[in-house]
Amino acid sequence: MAEIRQSGTWGSALTADEFAAIRSVGFEPVGQVLGAAVYNIGYTGGYGCPAYGRGYGLRGGLVSYGGPYTSVTATSGSGNLGSYAPLVRTMYEARRQAIGRMTAECQQLGGQGVVGVRLTIGGFPAGGLEFKAIGTGVRAPGVGSPRQPFTSDLTGQDFAKLILAGWVPVGLVLGIAVGARHDDWRTVNQTRWGSGNTEVHGYTDLVNATRHDARNQLERDVARHGADGVVLQEMELRVGEHECPVQDGRRDHVAEATIIGTAIAHFGKRRDRDTAPPLAIMSLDPQRRQAARVRLGP
String of DSSP letters for 121-186: EEE-TTSSEEEEEEEEEEE-TTSPPPSS-EE----HHHHHHHHHTTEEEEEEEEEEEEEEEE--HH
Q: State which of 46-55, 194-203, 286-295 shows the largest mean pLDDT.
A: 194-203
At residue 75 the predicted structure's pLDDT band, cuts being 50, 70 and 90, is confident
pLDDT at residue 214 in the model:
94
pLDDT at residue 149 in the model:
93
76 has pLDDT over 50: yes
pLDDT at residue 102 in the model:
95
pLDDT at residue 133 in the model:
95
pLDDT at residue 11 in the model:
77
* Range 56-63 average pLDDT: 40
CB atoms within 10 A of CB 34: 13
* Cα–Cα distance for residue pair 296/290, rounded to 1 Å: 10
Residues listed for the chain: 298
**Burial of residue 267 (number of CB atoms within 10 Å: 0-12, 13-18, 19+):** exposed
In this predicted model, what pLDDT tens digit does every residue of 162-194 receive, in sequence order? 999 999 999 999 999 999 888 888 888 888 888
Lowest mean pLDDT among 199-203, 220-224, 267-271: 267-271
pLDDT at residue 142 in the model:
82
At residue 150 the predicted structure's pLDDT band, cuts being 50, 70 and 90, is very high
* Range 68-85 average pLDDT: 73
Question: What is the DSSP track for 65-87?
Answer: SSS-----EEETTTT-TTS-HHH
Q: How far is CA 138 from CA 23, 43, 154, in A?
A: 10, 39, 13
At residue 46 the predicted structure's pLDDT band, cuts being 50, 70 and 90, is low
105 has pLDDT over 70: yes
Lowest mean pLDDT among 76-85, 114-123, 251-260: 76-85
Lowest mean pLDDT among 68-77, 177-186, 210-219, 236-245: 68-77
pLDDT at residue 62 in the model:
43
pTM over 0.85: no
Q: In what helix (H) or strand (E) does residue 261 lie, and over which residues does it extend?
A: strand 251-266
66 has pLDDT over 50: no
pLDDT at residue 60 in the model:
40
For the chain, what is the mean pLDDT? Answer: 82
Q: How far is CA 123 from CA 67, 88, 89, 117, in A?
A: 46, 17, 19, 20
pLDDT at residue 294 in the model:
54
